Amino acid sequence: MPHKILFWIDDSLIHFGIANSLQNKLDCELYSIISVANKKENFFKKQNLVKFKKIWFHNDISTDQSKSYSIDYLQKFEKEYKIDLWKLVYNDRTFFNFNEFYKFTTNEVLTIVEQEIRLFEKILDEVKPDFICIFPVLRPAYLFYLMCKSRNIVPIILHSSGISGRSFLNSGDNELEFKKDVDHSSKNLANISLNEFLNQGMQKQVSTESEHWLKPNKKFFLAGLKFLFSDNSSKNTHYTYFGRTKGKVLINYLYDLIRVRNRKNWLDENAIHKIEPKKPFIFFPLHLEQEMSLLILAPFYTNQLEVIKNLVKSLPMGYELYVKDHPLMYARSWRKISIYKEIMNLPNVKLIHPSVNSNELLEKCALVFTILGTTALDAGFFGKFAIVLSKRPDIPILSHMHQLNNFDELPAVIKKLVNSKSDKSDYFHFIDFLKKSSLDVDFTVLVNSYDDFFHYSGFLTDMEIPIDGMKKLLTKIKDQNDLIAEKFIEIINNNSVG
């Protein structure tokens, strides 16, 4: 019997390319849920580059605002799947907190969520897939991912490995399969130089992205013109586009130019640019918002200001807290100046300018504190301990990381770990494991290849996809997709019965 594989294809389009390579290497039945902007849907209805047995469109769910949800159905769902819906729904970047174009009612939100769940159950009941290929960045995809996990369907996820330029393909969020019997007598692992660390670490990738990601350029202005003179029907059919009239989008953009400039100028004038600590300090890097790492993977720690306040209450005497914003926050309009001011006005807190190199802070700090970020992993290179709030799959195998169970224990944990030197050996062996187990595929470059080809470098995703254009791109990136497909098959074989 051929394997049944279900792909979740979103606006990044990376899983379409993987499916294209996989169908030529494996006897399988391919299915897909298409969750893309309106103008892309026509491509999937006409294309034959990937021979899907059947496709469903996520945006076909009813958005009839006169309908109401069934509380009995949602309660039954939570019990059966052991999924807490409000934990997912409240942090959805479209429904609440971040939407500047439309205010959803609770009835609208739960009606949409119920329609999604009914569609997902229908698909899973019909296909009964053996595997799903998905990168659950947004709430609908993550909900579907959890439903599949509950039904014991194996997920296969492609994501960044933690090493710049390399990707990881695994079958779940806790399945790194790091072997503790790695040869700990290996001599060369501990000889990674600072330059090698800087070249392989995610800090380099962040720095590279910050040079061009969503910064105005020629394609930005072309995307703006394309949007102004194109059909804007998505605002009526796709709930993620509700309220996004051309007028509102244009006004929002002009307003954003002003607030981004004002916030950046304020940071330039008030944040610390040069690190000359007079007291020992703990380093807390702010997370980029709105992103999966907080909204989905750390749902109870989305208020970073409150996290900082809890940290301040736990500082030992004589220590300061250095808070640095993420350099890519400019793509999210920076934070409100009132938030920066509140951080600065807290006792023993210093606000560090986003341009300051995080590795300098890691080298000079006494301890690192993160919610989930890769800075906790990087701390291991410098022999520093890291306290982490949310669950990371690598914490059990990295001795320099400490997962905090609750804030009540934070003062004692800080006193125990502050200024202590961690054993670097676990860190170096873990990096060695990542190098050996990851793919020579740059996840960010792969995503950007689709954005550059079809989306004006990511500035406009609601675009038609020409079939000839997709053929051309798939030929260009065939080697990367073939490499992913081969690893995909290896995971399938390892998870198959018989």
Q: Which residue has the higher pLDDT, 234 or 75?
A: 75
Q: Which residue has the higher pLDDT, 137 or 148?
A: 148
Residue 355 lies in a domain: yes
Q: What pTM does this model have?
A: 0.88
Residue 14 lies in a domain: yes
Q: Are 99 and 56 in contact (CB under 8 A)?
A: no
Q: Are residues 457 and 371 in the same domain?
A: no
Q: Are residues 31 and 156 in the same domain?
A: yes
Strands 167-170, 154-160: pairing kind = antiparallel
- Run of H or E residues at 139: helix 139-150
Q: What is the mean pLDDT of the chain?
A: 85
Q: List the CATH number of the domain containing 330.
A: 3.40.50.2000
What the block records as the tokens of 148 is 């599949």
Question: Is the pLDDT at 227 greater than 60, yes or no?
Answer: no
Residue with tokens 């391919």: 30
Residue 175 lies in a domain: no
Q: Nearest-5° angle of CA 68, CA 72, CA 76?
A: 130
Q: Are residues 195 and 331 in the same domain?
A: yes
Q: What is the mean pLDDT of residues 337-342?
A: 96
Q: Are residues 13 and 109 in the same domain?
A: yes
Q: What is the mean pLDDT of residues 468-490?
A: 94
Residue 213 lies in a domain: no
Q: Are residues 422 and 458 in the same domain?
A: no
Phi/psi for 157 (5° steps) reads -120, 125
pLDDT for the residue numbered 185: 40
Three-state secondary-structure class, residue 11: coil
Three-state secondary-structure class, residue 487: helix
Domain endpoint, select from 435, 463, 481: 435
Q: What is the mean pLDDT of residues 466-482?
A: 95
Q: Are residues 391 and 276 in the same domain?
A: yes
Distance CA 456, CA 433 (A): 37
Question: pLDDT confidence of 335, banded at 50, 70, 90?
Answer: very high
Which stretch of 161-165, 200-204, 366-370, 422-426 has the lowest confidence by average pLDDT?
200-204
pLDDT for the residue numbered 222: 53
Please name which of 432, 422, 435 lies closest in space to residue 380, comparing C-alpha atoms.
422
Q: List the CATH number of the domain containing 104.
A: 3.40.50
Distance CA 326, CA 296 (A): 18
| Structural domain that includes position 32 | 3-161+439-494
Residue 461 lies in a domain: yes
Phi/psi for 291 (5° steps) reads -140, 160
Number of domains in the chain: 2
Residue with tokens 């997920």: 155
The rounded percent of the chain whose pLDDT value lies above 90 is 54
Question: Is the pLDDT at 425 greater than 60, yes or no?
Answer: yes
Which stretch of 61-70, 228-237, 314-323 has the lowest confidence by average pLDDT?
228-237
Q: Are residues 358 and 461 in the same domain?
A: no
Which stretch of 11-25, 73-87, 155-169, 462-476 has the lowest confidence by average pLDDT?
155-169
Question: pLDDT confidence of 53, banded at 50, 70, 90?
Answer: very high
Q: What is the mean pLDDT of residues 340-355?
A: 96
Around Cβ 193, how many Cβ atoms within 10 Å? 8
Residue 71 lies in a domain: yes
Alpha-carbon torsion angle 451, 169, 30, 121, nearest 10:
-100
Distance CA 310, CA 274 (A): 26
Residue 237 lies in a domain: no
Distance CA 289, CA 295 (A): 8
Q: What is the mean pLDDT of residues 90-113?
A: 90
Question: Is the pLDDT at 391 greater than 50, yes or no?
Answer: yes
Domain endpoint, select from 397, 417, 435: 435
Which stretch of 12-16, 42-46, 181-185 has the lowest confidence by average pLDDT?
181-185
Highest-confidence segment of 28-32, 427-431, 448-452, 491-495: 28-32
pLDDT for the residue numbered 369: 96
pLDDT for the residue numbered 423: 84
Question: Is the pLDDT at 86 greater than 70, yes or no?
Answer: yes
pLDDT for the residue numbered 248: 83
Tens-place pLDDT, residues 278-320: 899 999 999 988 788 888 888 889 899 999 999 999 999 999 9
Q: What is the mean pLDDT of residues 104-132?
A: 95
Q: Are residues 135 and 41 in the same domain?
A: yes
Residue 225 lies in a domain: no
Question: Is the pLDDT at 340 greater than 90, yes or no?
Answer: yes
pLDDT for the residue numbered 181: 45
Q: Are residues 414 and 328 in the same domain?
A: yes
Question: Is the pLDDT at 226 greater than 70, yes or no?
Answer: no
pLDDT for the residue numbered 241: 77
Question: Is the pLDDT at 456 greater than 70, yes or no?
Answer: no
Distance CA 277, CA 282 (A): 11
Question: pLDDT confidence of 140, banded at 50, 70, 90?
Answer: very high
Tens-place pLDDT, residues 2-36: 899 999 999 999 999 999 999 999 999 999 999 99
Question: Is the pLDDT at 257 greater than 60, yes or no?
Answer: yes
Question: pLDDT confidence of 399, banded at 50, 70, 90?
Answer: confident
Q: Answer positive or negative: Cα dihedral of 264, 265, 268, 271.
A: negative
Q: Are residues 376 and 444 in the same domain?
A: no
Distance CA 289, CA 303 (A): 10
Q: Are residues 370 and 430 in the same domain?
A: yes
